[in-house]
Chain A
Amino acid sequence: MLTFQCPYCGVQACETELAAGGEAHLKRFGPGSSDDDFEGYLFLRPNVKGVHFERWRHAMGCGKWFLAARCTATLEVFGTYPAQTTEPPADIIAAIKARRPDWSLT
């Protein structure tokens, strides 16, 4: 069973307490952007097999959105961090690299 530590309230929450919210750090494109960008933002996902940055909501707890780095091939969780950021923080990157030396943020 998947568990994440909520970075706000510190609770080690299991997946039944959480709601998955899909890929994190999407760059948003709105009115005025090109069709390609808009389509990419709305629908196209890398759907990676491996290190995935994603959004979760502590739905049955504090109710807040947070972000997590997790491997979709093994379900290993590398860490969680608050949602008020546009890119993964250095300590999360380091935690991933410690476990996946060949991995790099693209």
Chain B
Amino acid sequence: MRRYSAFAIAREAMRHHLGWERAWKSPVPKARYDVIIVGAGGHGLATAYYLGKNFGIRNVAVIEKGWLGGGNTGRNTTIIRSNYLQDPSAAIYEKARSLYETLSQDLNYNIMFSPRGVMMLAQTEHEIRGYQRTAHANALQGVTTEFISRQKVKELCPIINIDGPRYPVLGALWQPRGGTARHDAVAWGYARACSDMGMDIIQQTEVTGVRREGGRVVGVDTTKGHIACDKLGIVVAGHSGVMAERAGFRLPIESVALQALVSEPIKPVMDVVVMANTVHGYMSQSDKGEMVIGGGADNYNNYTQRGSFQHVEETVRALIETFPIISRLKMLRWWGGIVDMTGDRSPIISKTPVEGVFVNCGWGTGGFKAIPGSGWAMAELMAKGHAPLADAFSLDRFREGRFIDESVAAGVAH
């Protein structure tokens, strides 16, 4: 693989940019792989990448029914933070956040990580207490966060109306090294690095069945025929239930639509990410100048990748109260993604009832921020059978009542 660098840009400028290679190959599937990953979203690709990088397992295929990064990885609002309450969550999300810090260098691909700071507004007494508790927990977990005053909120983000009318801003939980990254670039960067290690990324190919012999996986059926494997990782987010059924088990997951929208581009007005969980909306400004807006998830099972009008209205209404300056902005694009919700709002990284089959799912409304850490943990689990970062997120926690209850921390969709 030719490395990207300032020198490469200069070199290509001299020869009409004819020397750029394709970022990844599009091979025909082999008959057999050591590991097959279903789903070329961020989590699937990161799993493959760390299998190769950390464990030298490179006979790997990532099979994707659409195009890589076309699922939720290409549909999210790119917020990255690790200010969770429970220890297992803080550990994996902070691992992910810290990997994001150097991911561009690691992958030799600019993922545009922008640690501009994430602010979660406290707009009720209850939220103040909740976030203060989170700030204390984060201090013990080694995650840098701080509970800040409403004056500090106004200083960091002057366009916020902190005086109400309905829910005045009372303070905020502030994570200075949280922020955003370019979502597509995360998928593309991992894909390019995987392809460079000799892995096969097979797009436009759906996995339609899981072949088992004596309770263990031996391969998959796909729209391009049968492919054998020793181990199978199912990393398909909203379609986890569908894939689990094909593998012969059920998951504690329900799929619902989550939506987001962006405005026309405007001059820079805010350089932090603001989340307002009480009124249910959040906003940041992209490098292009668009205001990136998200809100709550629909609460009924849905596979349509479409949002509903009333949620947009709710979200926009809430944000106009919080940021009066946006009241006349035109919205440019609006889309939905199908997110995989668990009962305790925490993910699943686990073995399954079928030997050799592993699942990574349940990231719901907030898994973009977790991609590097999740891939790291999933790769270790698949290579070694257990992984310190993943163990708490196993499937049997539901049966055993060991929930990792983040429904407060992840109460709004991000």
Contact = CB atoms under 8 A, between A and B. Distances in A.
Contacts of A35: 399
Nearest to A52: B301
B241 A45 contact: yes
A37 B308 CA distance: 35
B308 A47 contact: no
B64 interface: no
Interface residues of B, number: 24
B250 interface: yes
A100 B303 CA distance: 17
Given A1-B308, A39-B398, A49 B303 contact: yes
A70 to B, nearest CB: 8
B309 interface: yes
B299 to A, nearest CB: 5
B242 interface: yes
A2 interface: yes
Given A39-B398, A54-B301, A72-B302, A45 B254 contact: yes
Nearest to A20: B300
Interface in A54-74: 54, 72-74
B399 A39 contact: yes
Interface string A1-39: 110000000000001100110110000000000010001
B253 A47 contact: yes
A47 B299 contact: no
B398 A47 contact: no
Interface in B282-307: 299-304, 306
Given A15-B308, A49-B242, A44 B251 contact: yes
B255 interface: yes
Interface in B371-414: 398-399
Contact of B250 (A16, A40, A49): A40
A1 B310 contact: yes
Contacts of B239: 49
Nearest to A56: B300
Contacts of B399: 35, 39, 43
Interface in B236-294: 239-242, 245, 250-255
In this complex, the member of B254, B300, B301, B309 whose beta carbon has the largest number of chain A beta carbons within 10 angstroms is B300
A35 B302 CA distance: 29
Contacts of A23: 301
Contacts of A19: 299
A30 B97 CA distance: 42
A2 B245 CA distance: 27
Nearest to B342: A43
A3 to B, nearest CB: 12
Contacts of B250: 40, 44-46
Interface in B301-343: 301-304, 306, 308-310, 343
A72 B302 CA distance: 5
Given A39-B398, A46-B245, A49-B242, A75 B254 contact: no
Given A1-B310, A15-B308, A42-B398, A48 B241 contact: yes
Given A43-B343, A44-B251, A73-B304, A49 B398 contact: no
Contacts of A52: 301
A39 B399 CA distance: 5
A49 B242 CA distance: 7
Interface string B15-46: 00000000000000000000000000000000
A15 B309 CA distance: 10
B303 A72 contact: yes
B310 A15 contact: yes
B304 A47 contact: no
A24 B250 CA distance: 17
Max chain A C-beta neighbours (<10 A), residue from B239, B302, B309: B302
Contacts of B251: 44-45, 47
Interface of B: 239-242, 245, 250-255, 299-304, 306, 308-310, 343, 398-399
Given A15-B310, A45-B252, A47-B255, 11 more contacts: A1-B308, A1-B309, A15-B300, A39-B399, A43-B343, A43-B399, A45-B253, A47-B241, A47-B251, A48-B301, A72-B255
23 contacts: A1-B308, A19-B299, A20-B299, A20-B300, A23-B301, A35-B399, A40-B250, A43-B343, A44-B252, A45-B241, A45-B251, A45-B254, A46-B241, A47-B251, A47-B301, A49-B239, A49-B242, A54-B300, A72-B255, A72-B303, A73-B304, A75-B304, A75-B306
Interface of A: 1-2, 15-16, 19-20, 22-23, 35, 39-40, 42-49, 52, 54, 72-75
